[in-house]
Chains A and B, each alone.
Chain A
Amino acid sequence: MHQSHAHQASRLQLNGRGQLKHFLSTEGLSRELLTEILDRAESFLDDQGGIRNVPLLAGRTVMNLFFEPSTRTRTTFEVAAKRLSADVLNIDISKSSTSKGETLRDMLWNLEAMTADVFVVRHGLSGAPHFIASQVTPQIAVINAGDGRHAHPTQAMLDMLTIRRHAGAFENLTVAIIGDIRHSRVARSEIHALQTLGAKEIRVIGPRTLLPKDFELLGVQVFEDMTAGLADVDVAIALRIQNERMESALLPGSSEFYGLFGLTRERLKVASPKVLVMHPGPINRGVEIESEVADGPQSLILKQVNYGIAVRMAVLVMAVEGQLQENGQ
């Protein structure tokens, strides 16, 4: 069952030689390929942890197509593209333009006329980047910058880079993801990446209203209680809780959530003594995480931001290369 899912998930993403040509999901990609993304990303980091300028995409155009507002992710993609000397076009596509009757596909045809090499796509609907990748002219690489609840593969890979650099080999790690798993594209992409990279154990922790149906089938341990879920974990990843969850009968309120599922120093006492704390940001202090934990010595939250640029550079370069291989230019 897992194999066939992996096949479906990788079919669109790889060229005939098994190289990345779109980056839509961490699901279905091989350990070698995910490791290559991490290695490439590391090569863009200098000794001080800064980012090198590498003109690998000089003369290429990266188009940021954001159907959903996002300052942080868009900015890191923009910085990553510029570090690679690519030209960047930011196109903010408000929801209204598609609701005016122009279909997504019509819009794509218009955008393709502007000749881009890469579409970086953020969309509110799960599967939208898959759809775009299946419809665009062949030489354009599509990078998923977050689709609905489905996937946010570059965020997941920057989290993997953070874990590899600071927590060590995946084989030894128990990783817990805490909070709104149901609505989280980050959690899904992290789970697939952690599995492929060989993490010892993956846990998700949250109340039933925030847990996806039958997620055990994905091969993760599901906990509805923090003390049990955090026991002996090496990495704890807290997810952002959106305010709208409180209004839609999923949670009674932020203080109750913090009381039961907030990542606090007290709660972390059951975790491994060297536990590392991560959060994809932006953080809600006092909702999903205690300030002292977010700012404490075990927190990698600020490091995550910096690695994001390197990972996005790696993915941009690999996808463009994969397209060139396939289309023989």
Chain B
Amino acid sequence: MSALIRYTGVRVIDPATGTDTVQSAVLQDGVVVALGSAADLLVVNETQAADGCWLTPAFVDLCARLREPGPKQHGTIASETRAAAAAGFKHLVLPPDTHPVIDHGAVALQVIEKAAAAGHAQVYPVGALTKGLEGKSLASMGGLKAAGCVGVGQARQPVASLDTLLRCLEYASSMGLTVFFSPEEAALASGCAHDGFMAARLGLTGIPETAETVALASALLLVEQTGVRAHFGQLSCAGSVTLMRLAKDKGLPVTADVAMHQLHLTDAAIDGFNAMAHVRPPLRSEADRVALIAGVREGVIDAICSDHQPLNAAAKLAPFAEALPGMSTLETVLPLGLKLVADGELSARRLIEALTSAPARILQKPIGALGEVASGVLLIDPAQAWQVTDDDWLSVGRNTVFAGQMMTGRARLLS
């Protein structure tokens, strides 16, 4: 039996139970064993004053590229889960667009085992909806489910036709699998930046909002037809929030997330051809950003993900359109979220919910709640300042627009 540690004066935020109060908490082996007066009375091995700090479930990320399986020059399961754990994430969903693609149970098993061996965070693969993500024929979804995939999806790869997509959704529904969509209509998404004034001014080819909303609308109609459970990830525009609101009002079995950086940045960040701000879906307008925040606040958007996409230095050393899209984001999620709280955009409880119990519900996993043994517990110092520098950054990808900036807020996984 390992030590009992009491944290006093800590703000316990556990959205799964609706808890948000300053109290004492006793932990043992990374699990909360007592709260409040019970925690005050327990005989413990050690007491730590944690005034000003928050105690929350460990974060659950619905979309993080780990670059493995793959050529690994942009990161590995070990490197990126280590960065994740240091940033408060104990549970990461891996999209299927790895090399090889996660379209076979063996690949999924390998991912899960590698993450377990690294020991930093648990990885939940999403299996491919179609073989090789080629969009033509059904992947072996039964096998993927048996291997531990939390759902199936196409990442950002297109499906050959709506007919094929319909069959895929029907089959996924039979398998009881959630379908993870990153809605994008390929024919409208050949550009490299939000189709607005900034792209027009810089002479960059635009990606209109309809690249997302057309795909989202048709997917929602097919979800309604098939009844499959569907999750829509990394939404980027106001129109998508409107569509999700309609779908939820109709009672469709749908959920959504947004990447944290979409709640902070707009296409203004690409000025000067800043390749670090080349992401996909693109950074959009201020009106979109405001609508996305409102969507999170109201719960139309259930969860906030990192959409972590680490890249090595060479990947961004090219003219804007040719620089690979993506940002290394795991390590800035918490401070950016705390900024939303400080700015009065989100309540602390809603922020923590969007990072813990909401994604856990989407995954249907017993995590993201202090009462769950597998959840993991964070001690967050919301006032701790740090600077985004190479010395204080664990991801292999240093591709962030926030390089050099001061951040406020750090998390520590309690074990």
A residues neighboring B (CB under 8 Å): 4-5, 8-9, 11-12, 103-105, 123, 125-128, 130-131, 135, 147-151, 182, 185, 188, 212-215, 217-218
User: CA A217 – CA B319 in complex, angstroms?
Assistant: 25
- Report whether A126 and B201 are in contact in the complex, using a CB–CB cutoff of 8 Å: no
Query: What's the minimum C-beta distance from A74 to chain B, rounded to whole angstroms?
Result: 20
- Report whether A104 and B319 are in contact in the complex, using a CB–CB cutoff of 8 Å: yes
B208 to A, closest residue via Cβ: A213
Our pick among A12, A103, A149, A218 for the contact of B203 (Cβ within 8 Å) is: A149
User: CA A4 – CA B321 in complex, angstroms?
Assistant: 22
Point out the residues of chain B lying under 8 angstroms from A213, CB to CB.
Answer: 195-197, 199-200, 206
- Report whether A105 and B197 are in contact in the complex, using a CB–CB cutoff of 8 Å: no
User: CA A303 – CA B200 in complex, angstroms?
Assistant: 30
User: CA A123 – CA B321 in complex, angstroms?
Assistant: 12
Known contacts: A9-B272, A11-B272, A104-B318. The answer to whether A126 contacts B197 by CB under 8 A is no
Query: What's the minimum C-beta distance from B95 to chain A, rounded to whole angstroms?
Result: 27
Query: What's the minimum C-beta distance from A9 to chain B, rounded to whole angstroms?
Result: 7
- Report whether B271 and A135 are in contact in the complex, using a CB–CB cutoff of 8 Å: no
- Report whether B195 and A150 are in contact in the complex, using a CB–CB cutoff of 8 Å: no
The list of the 10 closest CB pairs from A to B, nearest first, reads A149-B203, A150-B203, A212-B200, A127-B273, A214-B197, A126-B203, A128-B319, A8-B272, A125-B319, A8-B271
User: CA A5 – CA B267 in complex, angstroms?
Assistant: 12
Most buried by A among B201, B206, B322: B201
**B34 at interface (Cβ–Cβ under 8 A)?**
no
B323 to A, closest residue via Cβ: A131
- Report whether A5 and B201 are in contact in the complex, using a CB–CB cutoff of 8 Å: yes
**B101 at interface (Cβ–Cβ under 8 A)?**
no
Our pick among A12, A103, A125 for the contact of B321 (Cβ within 8 Å) is: A125
Given contacts A125-B322, A127-B273, A215-B197, 15 further A-B contacts (CB under 8 A): A5-B201, A8-B271, A104-B319, A123-B319, A126-B319, A127-B321, A130-B272, A131-B275, A131-B317, A131-B319, A148-B204, A149-B203, A188-B201, A213-B206, A214-B200
User: CA A147 – CA B200 in complex, angstroms?
Assistant: 14
B314 to A, closest residue via Cβ: A103
5 A-B residue pairings within 8 Å (CB atoms): A5-B271, A105-B318, A126-B204, A127-B321, A130-B272
**B320 at interface (Cβ–Cβ under 8 A)?**
yes
Point out the residues of chain B lying under 8 angstroms from A147, CB to CB.
Answer: 203
User: CA A147 – CA B202 in complex, angstroms?
Assistant: 10
- Report whether A126 and B320 are in contact in the complex, using a CB–CB cutoff of 8 Å: yes
- Report whether A135 and B317 are in contact in the complex, using a CB–CB cutoff of 8 Å: yes
- Report whether A215 and B273 are in contact in the complex, using a CB–CB cutoff of 8 Å: no
- Report whether B197 and A125 are in contact in the complex, using a CB–CB cutoff of 8 Å: no
Point out the residues of chain B lying under 8 angstroms from A4, CB to CB.
Answer: 271
Interface residues of B in 310-362 (CB under 8 A from A): 314, 317-322
B322 to A, closest residue via Cβ: A125
Query: What's the minimum C-beta distance from A244 to chain B, rounded to whole angstroms?
Result: 14
User: CA A105 – CA B323 in complex, angstroms?
Assistant: 12
User: CA A121 – CA B197 in complex, angstroms?
Assistant: 25
User: CA A185 – CA B273 in complex, angstroms?
Assistant: 15
Point out the residues of chain B lying under 8 angstroms from A212, CB to CB.
Answer: 200-201
Query: What's the minimum C-beta distance from B21 to chain A, rounded to whole angstroms?
Result: 44
Query: What's the minimum C-beta distance from B156 to chain A, rounded to whole angstroms?
Result: 22
B201 to A, closest residue via Cβ: A218
- Report whether B317 and A103 are in contact in the complex, using a CB–CB cutoff of 8 Å: yes
Point out the residues of chain B lying under 8 angstroms from A126, CB to CB.
Answer: 202-204, 273, 319-321
Point out the residues of chain B lying under 8 angstroms from A11, CB to CB.
Answer: 272
B194 to A, closest residue via Cβ: A213
User: CA A149 – CA B203 in complex, angstroms?
Assistant: 4
Point out the residues of chain A lying under 8 angstroms from B196, CB to CB.
Answer: 213-214
Contact indicator per residue, chain B 142-175, by CB within 8 Å of chain A (1) or not (0): 0000000000000000000000000000000000
User: CA A185 – CA B197 in complex, angstroms?
Assistant: 15
Point out the residues of chain B lying under 8 angstroms from A12, CB to CB.
Answer: 272
Point out the residues of chain A lying under 8 angstroms from B318, CB to CB.
Answer: 103-105, 131
- Report whether B272 and A148 are in contact in the complex, using a CB–CB cutoff of 8 Å: no
- Report whether A125 and B314 are in contact in the complex, using a CB–CB cutoff of 8 Å: no
User: CA A182 – CA B321 in complex, angstroms?
Assistant: 17
User: CA A150 – CA B270 in complex, angstroms?
Assistant: 14
User: CA A128 – CA B199 in complex, angstroms?
Assistant: 15
Point out the residues of chain B lying under 8 angstroms from A105, CB to CB.
Answer: 314, 317-318
Point out the residues of chain B lying under 8 angstroms from A182, CB to CB.
Answer: 200
Interface residues of B in 202-237 (CB under 8 A from A): 202-206
Point out the residues of chain A lying under 8 angstroms from B275, CB to CB.
Answer: 131
Query: What's the minimum C-beta distance from B185 to chain A, rounded to whole angstroms?
Result: 16
User: CA A104 – CA B314 in complex, angstroms?
Assistant: 11
Point out the residues of chain B lying under 8 angstroms from A125, CB to CB.
Answer: 319-322
Point out the residues of chain A lying under 8 angstroms from B314, CB to CB.
Answer: 103, 105
A189 to B, closest residue via Cβ: B203
